[in-house]
Structure 1
Amino acid sequence: MTYKDMTISHEKEIFVFRIKDFWSAVTHFIGMVVAIIGMPILLIKAAAYQASFLSMVSFMIFMLSMILLYGASASYHSFHVSNRVDMILKKIDHSSIFILIAGSYTPICLTALKDTVGPMLLTMIWIIAIAGIVFKVFWVTCPKWVSSVMYSLMGWLCIMFLPQILSAVSIHAFMWLLAGGIAYTIGAVIYALKPKLLASKSFGNHEIFHCFVLLGSLCHYIFVLNYLTMFH
């Protein structure tokens, strides 16, 4: 991969602006733009169904967490400024994954599950998210499999409340929720194992991982847009 460098010297410190990870940056920049466009669409539809204030807040949290994740990822993969800035961006990038997972739980917890296990599940997931962020702040360089296991366990925590979820939403709605979880998990496995079959210098394991993350977000967006907006 070729890089375009522009070096700026400020007395004692030299900053190097370097374009890097082109496809990783592009895929998640697209995700950020689509999420920004999708947010008002979701909120307008929810308002049309006379969604409650709490539901509207949950939808906003969901979309803002998605925008944060894709914005942070696109920023981290776009420019190399300095090692210190790279490390900061990496911590924000990895931490935002916990925020997206918790943000994805928030709508269903405050709509379909609000009268049953929703508040408890929401509290659990955000406590785990905060703990995960603290973990990443202090050990962002942990092995990739550790990160993948943490993200996957957090994402599949809802299995503990599967009966309540199946009672609250239709099977068609649940399939979108499940499809999103499967897409995220496949991406996490690729991220952790880096299979040689998918290795490529231009569009390899990490870029494919990014695509599965996009697919997971799309499935969950459809789930929220088409099903949860109808809950009051």
Structure 2
Amino acid sequence: MYPTQVRSERIADGTVHVIGVIGAVAGGIMLLGWAAGTAETAQIAAIAIYAATLMATFVASAAYHLTPWHQVRPLLRRVDHAAIYLKIAGTYTPLVVMIGSGFAYLVLALVWALALIGVVLKLFFWRAPGRFGPALYLVMGWLSLALIWSLWPVVPLATIVLIALGGLLYTAGVPFYATQRLSYATAIWHGFVLVASACFYIAITTGVAAQG
């Protein structure tokens, strides 16, 4: 079942999802189209991965939270949660390509390995301890601290600030993700995700532009 049956809360969450899906699809297509004319091949491929995971995550979340067919909700919920791991790893990918060092690619390999573990657990071992999922999201996200000093010389300060802000917003939203006791908790969590995603989108755009 949907986390809440309160009509006003569902409308609020639905509004956030509509904005998110439109923004992710339009933004992903525009970013990839722009990069195709300005970036190098490796960065274009990285942005394609990022754009695909960004769109997939928002579409999967909308499908689960907004579908009226309750019988498919369990499957859609698994896909929704699994897609978050891919989005985190996808967001790392163009940032690591900007750095281009062996260490950065090692971190990226670790992040993608954790993402694949998370996807398998969510899709096939749904009954794994409930707190493991949010914990793995946070671990994957904050592994970015290992790349900050490597990223600093190759992107504008604004990019670093936006990445830090995005990470803080994701982290601040986790308590709303983990509990449904607060009214509008689901909509608030997705609001944090939407704004944090926008921060990373702008960060990646400014970073690619600086290297173009």
If the TM-score is normalised by the length of the shorter chain, which range does it land in? 0.7 to 0.9
Point out where structure 1 has 5 or more consecutive residues left out of the alignment.
4-19
> 8 Å contact 1:148–1:188 — kept in the other structure?
yes
The 3-state SS of whatever aligns with 2:177 is: helix
Q: Select 1:102's aligned residue among 49, 65, 89.
A: 89
What letter is aligned with 2:24?
A: A
Aligned pair count reads 207
Q: CA RMSD in A?
A: 2.2
Which of 93, 118, 126 lines up with 2:80 in the alignment? 93
Q: 2:106 and 2:31 mapped to 1: Cα distance?
A: 25
TM-score normalised by structure 1 residue count? 0.80
Question: Secondary structure at the residue paired with 2:131?
Answer: helix
Q: Conserved in 2, the CA contact under 8 Å of 1:184 and 1:216?
A: yes
> Normalising to structure 2: TM-score of the pair?
0.87
Once the two structures are superposed, the pairs formed by residues 129-208 of structure 1 within 5 Å of their partners are 129-142=115-128, 144-194=130-180, 199-200=182-183, 204-208=184-188
SS in 2 for 1:140: coil
Q: Deviations over 1:196-216 (max 9, x none)?
A: 5xx22xxx1111000000011
1:79 and 2:79 correspond: no
1:40 aligns with 2:29: yes
* Alpha carbons 1:25, 1:73 under 8 Å: kept: no
Gap change, CA 1:147 and 1:162, over 3 Å in 2: same
Measured in 2, the distance between the counterparts of 1:163 and 1:65 equals 26
Q: Which one has a larger percent helix, Structure 1 or Structure 2?
A: 2
Aligned to 2:20: 31
Distance in 1 separating the partners of 2:155 and 2:178:
32
Consecutive unaligned residues of structure 2, counting only runs of 5 or more, are: none
Match of 2:47 in 1: 59
Deviations 1:182-205 (A, max 9, x none): 1111111221245x5xx22xxx11
Contact map agreement 2:32 2:51 (CA 8 A) in 1: no
Change (3 A) 1:144 1:185: farther
Structure 1 or 2: more strand by fraction: 1
User: Could you report, residue by residue, the CA deviation over 1:38-75 in whole angstroms, capped at 9, with x for unpaired residues?
Assistant: 12321243244x31111111111111111101100101
Cα distance, 1:82 vs structure 2:
4.1
Rounded Cα–Cα distance in structure 1 between residues aligned with 2:179 and 2:69: 28
